[in-house]
Copies of this chain bind each other. A is one copy, B any other.
Amino acid sequence: MNAIETIMAHRSIRKYKSDPISDNILDEILVAASRAGTTGNMQVYSIVVTRDQQVKDALLPLHFGQEMISKAPAVLTFCADFNRFNKWCDQRNAGPGYDNFLSFMTASIDALLASQNAVIAAEANGLGTCYLGTTTYTAGKIIEVLNLPKGVVPITTVVLGYPDENPGLTDRLPMRAIVHHEKYSDFSKEDIELLYAEKENMEVYKGFVKESEVENLAQVFTQKRYTKKDNVLFSKTLLDVLTQQGFMNNE
């Protein structure tokens, strides 16, 4: 398979066999991650590879009990990381100025480009993967479990292992929902109706609406899955984590 075929075949895998991942394959995935673009080649990110059952079990509640954390053979936590770079600057009498929000974003970008390379390299090796959005929700507690020092914030987590399920591709909106030519063309009320019509008519989503006992699919998101109350809570705790880890000295 070429790279496009690998990319096009991506599905999130949530059930894994217990088969371990060989060190060779894991190393190939990590090296692939390291070849992603990085701002100024500073490599201001890190990857914590967790395979020990006890540590995975400690991470499990921080990812809201999603069983795959505990059952998949490897969990990779991708972190924005200026710790190593700052230490180097300090040892070179170079006064690092990376304790601010811009630097947090720079490091987050590094971490996320590396994570996507890892996902593609894993899938090219026949492994399944799943991103865990819970990482930014519980970053402060993940910092404690993984002993992340100041200058380090977990941004995303990828579970890796051999798939024990074979789901189909997930639906996507029509391409014109995400692509704009030359400049942004904002959507009319009718555009929105057309863009979401196919999704709203899919049986799987009609099932979600019924289970959730709400009026429509949008309400599944706003009232059940990603509520304002949770988002506000997690926004506050994440901003506190940025302050604690030394990324909010913006004066």
Contact = CB atoms under 8 A, between A and B. Distances in A.
A236 B100 CA distance: 9
Copies of this polypeptide in the complex: 2
Interface string A179-211: 111111011010011011000000000000000
A221 B40 contact: yes
Contacts of A136: 102, 105-106, 109
Nearest to A135: B109
B182 A3 contact: no
Interface stretch (A61-69, A117-125, A160-168): A117-125
Interface size class of A (residues with CB under 8 A): 35 or more
Contacts of A117: 7, 116, 120
Contacts of A222: 89, 94-97
Contacts of A106: 133, 136
B2 A221 contact: no
Nearest to A49: B181
A152 interface: yes
9 contacts: A2-B2, A12-B37, A27-B175, A49-B180, A88-B195, A92-B218, A97-B222, A105-B136, A147-B183
9 tightest A-B contacts by CB?
Answer: A97-B228, A92-B218, A94-B218, A116-B116, A112-B112, A3-B124, A3-B6, A3-B3, A101-B235
